[in-house]
A = this chain, B = another copy of it.
């Protein structure tokens, strides 16, 4: 792992001597005819623009989105945003020992802890068919992907390990609902929670940037997840049809409404619990993230957030701040 100050800690006039990931790269020319290379560079904490005015021939020819560059220069401000005034820039080489993955945004939670937690939940399933099915689905290859993939491109849990973090939240919310309602079938519901977004491992690319795959756009993660589960169910003899239909129903209906791309709406108590737990986990994560990232300077309001259809407010009043032990992002 590289050792360099994180981008979101730097400000005007700070020096840059960093490896950074190329997020956008484009050759442009000014109206007066000079060419320059316009790039967006980033680490896991932030993104920043850099225009390169000379010595960019090789980089322009060989560099592409997802590559890492070594760049030196200074932070300066342009039209209210930071950018890098570049002194030198080159593509990273093998001997630099850097990995594009290290520059992607990443969950704040410890991934090993989360994997362990997930495995415990997996073992808590007692119904005999599901007990056989789930480890087959979460085989080594799929589990690796499942633990890395973000839950989305950017809106909620849009970072490495995001799906794992999101899934664990939903599992715990569903367990609480089972405490309130013993009538819910716990094994079915928790299995559904584990599997509901599994299709994201084929819907998204997350190696150097988060993008939809062709399959993701043409088929979508809901049907992809349903396919994976069905393939594994067919390998288990005598898997009950009713259990299969109900488990697939949880996956298909988990976005809650047809207009949110679920081909069926929730029709069981377990399905409505899963949908609403998903909403709760997703929305709170998304709003918190937007408030962290988009506050206007000297204001406790963000710019207008389209997915929330409003601007958002950070509540900052707090009695006895000094006594508050947990560090809070909003304070």
In the assembled complex, the CB of A242 is this many whole angstroms from the nearest CB of chain B, namely 5
Binary interface profile of A, 274-289, with partner B (CB < 8 Å = 1, else 0)? 0011011101110110
Q: Which of A178-208 contact B (CB under 8 A)?
A: 180-185, 188
Q: Which residues of chain B are within 8 angstroms of A309 by Cβ–Cβ distance?
A: 265
By the criterion CB–CB under 8 Å, are A223 and B263 in contact? yes
In the assembled complex, the CB of A5 is this many whole angstroms from the nearest CB of chain B, namely 23
Q: Contacts A269-B291, A273-B284, A317-B243: A263 and B220 contacting too (C-beta < 8 A)?
A: yes
By the criterion CB–CB under 8 Å, are A268 and B177 in contact? no
Contact among B214, B264, B266 with A245 in the assembled complex (CB-CB below 8 Å): B214
Contact among B79, B219, B287, B329 with A28 in the assembled complex (CB-CB below 8 Å): B79
By the criterion CB–CB under 8 Å, are B268 and A315 in contact? yes
Q: Which residues of chain B are within 8 angstroms of A328 by Cβ–Cβ distance?
A: 182-183
Contact among B79, B181, B240, B242 with A288 in the assembled complex (CB-CB below 8 Å): B181
Q: Which residues of chain B are within 8 angstroms of A58 by Cβ–Cβ distance?
A: none
- The answer to whether A248 has its CB under 8 Å from any CB of chain B is yes
By the criterion CB–CB under 8 Å, are B267 and A310 in contact? yes
Segment touching B, from A111-119, A144-152, A254-262 = A254-262
By the criterion CB–CB under 8 Å, are B223 and A252 in contact? yes
- The answer to whether A318 has its CB under 8 Å from any CB of chain B is yes
By the criterion CB–CB under 8 Å, are B263 and A263 in contact? yes
Q: Which residues of chain B are within 8 angstroms of A218 by Cβ–Cβ distance?
A: 245-246, 248-249, 252, 264, 267, 313
